[in-house]
Structure 1
Amino acid sequence: MKLAEHKNLKTAITELPVKEKDKLLLRLIAKDKVLTEHLHYKLLEDESDLESRKEQIKSDIESQISELKKLSVKEALVKVRKMITGVNHFYKVTKDTFGEVELKVYILNKIPVDYKRSIFGYKDFGFLFATFYIKTVTITLNKFKKLHEDLQFDLSENINQLLAKIYSSKLAGAAEAADLPKEV
């Protein structure tokens, strides 16, 4: 049930006494962890907290990079997906598109693209890793293009490093197939 479909309900909610609205709002917020975290960020945090959130994610990534090089491609894919999911959660909480693009480019630049071969299923998981990696780059580039040109300028060097890394690796064919540019 969407609120927009029930105009009478919307009117009734706005006419509720403030104390009752507050009680309902608090009950509703408690049911959604991301909404609770978003409200905490919006109401109780400031710009320095945003930077510390980004630094915490970067720190977590740095601690996992050396471990990634020792993993099979299947295990690495699982770890990289978790890293990207962490950035997606960061965006849901902060609504900071620049930070999201910055962090994804950071991750994609840091993670290795060559992994040791496992006895079973390397080809399949290698393909899945390449597909996930290229798709994530494509999505990130699309968000990058929607940023203000000053913000794009700030990120363009890192994105060009990422694209150079891709085109100098075994992912070059997949990047060309996905029409990734060689630079921005």
Structure 2
Amino acid sequence: MKLAEHKNLKTAITDLPVKEKDKLLLRLIAKDKVLTEHLHFKLLEDESDLEYRKENIKNDIEIQLPELKKLNAKDALAKVRKMITQVNHFYKVTKDSIGEVELKIFVLNVIPLEYKKSFLGYRDFGFLFASFYIKTTQVTINKFKKLHEDLQFDLTENLNQLLNKIYSSKLAAVAESSDLPNEI
């Protein structure tokens, strides 16, 4: 049930006494971890905490890099998906689109592109990894293009470095067939 579909409910909620609204709000927030974390960030944290969150994600990813280099394509795909999920969670909590783009470019730049083949199973995880990597890069570029041009300027060098990395690897053919630009 959506609140927009029930205008009477919306009016009734706004007419509730403040104490009762607070009680209901706290109960609702407690049921959603992301909303709770978002409100904590919005109400209790500041710009330095935002930078701290970004640095934590970068440090966590850098700690995982040595292990990531030893994995096969299947396990690397799972790890990289978790890294990107961590960045997506960062965005859900902070609503910082600049930080999201910056972190995704960082993750995509630092992770290796070559992995051992997995001989078990029927799936080509190397291909799945390449598809995921290119798709994530495309999504990141689209979000990059929505940023203000001054912010784009700050991130352009790192994004071009990422595109250069892709086009000088085995992923070049996949990138080209996906119409990924060579340069921004």
Question: Partners of 1:25 and 1:147 in 2: how far apart?
Answer: 33
Question: AA paired with 1:65?
Answer: L
| CA contact 1:167–1:175 (8 Å) conserved in 2 | yes
Aligned to 2:163: 163
SS of equivalent to 2:9? helix
Q: Calculate percent identity across the aligned residue pairs.
A: 79
Question: AA paired with 2:159?
Answer: I
Aligned to 2:12: 12
Counting only pairs closer than 5 Å after superposition, residues 112-123 of structure 1 correspond to structure 2 as: 112-121=112-121
Task: Encode CA deviations 1:34-70: one digit per residue, 9 max, x unaligned.
Answer: 0000000000000000000000000000000111110
| CA contact 2:163–2:182 (8 Å) conserved in 1 | yes
- Note the C-alpha offset of 1:82: 0.2
Question: Partners of 2:119 and 2:89 in 1: how far apart?
Answer: 34
Q: Does 1:145 align with 2:151?
A: no
Aligned to 2:89: 89
User: How many residues matched?
Assistant: 184
Moved over 3 A (4+): none
Question: Partners of 1:122 and 1:72 in 2: how far apart?
Answer: 14
Question: Partners of 2:95 and 2:107 in 1: how far apart?
Answer: 19
TM-score by length of 1: 0.98
Aligned to 1:70: 70
Q: Provide structure 2 residue ranges, at least 5 long, that are not aligned to the other structure.
A: none
Question: Partners of 1:131 and 1:163 in 2: how far apart?
Answer: 15
Task: Encode CA deviations 1:140-182: one digit per residue, 9 max, x unaligned.
Answer: 0000000000000000000000000000000000100110110
Aligned to 1:110: 110
TM-score by length of 2: 0.98
| CA contact 1:73–1:122 (8 Å) conserved in 2 | no
Change (3 A) 1:121 1:173: farther
Question: Partners of 2:9 and 2:66 in 1: how far apart?
Answer: 54
SS of equivalent to 1:113? coil
RMSD, matched Cα:
1.0
Question: Partners of 1:117 and 1:137 in 2: how far apart?
Answer: 23
Q: Provide structure 1 residue ranges, at least 5 long, that are not aligned to the other structure.
A: none
SS of equivalent to 1:102? helix
SS of equivalent to 2:124? helix
- Note the C-alpha offset of 1:117: 2.0
Q: Does 1:47 align with 2:47?
A: yes
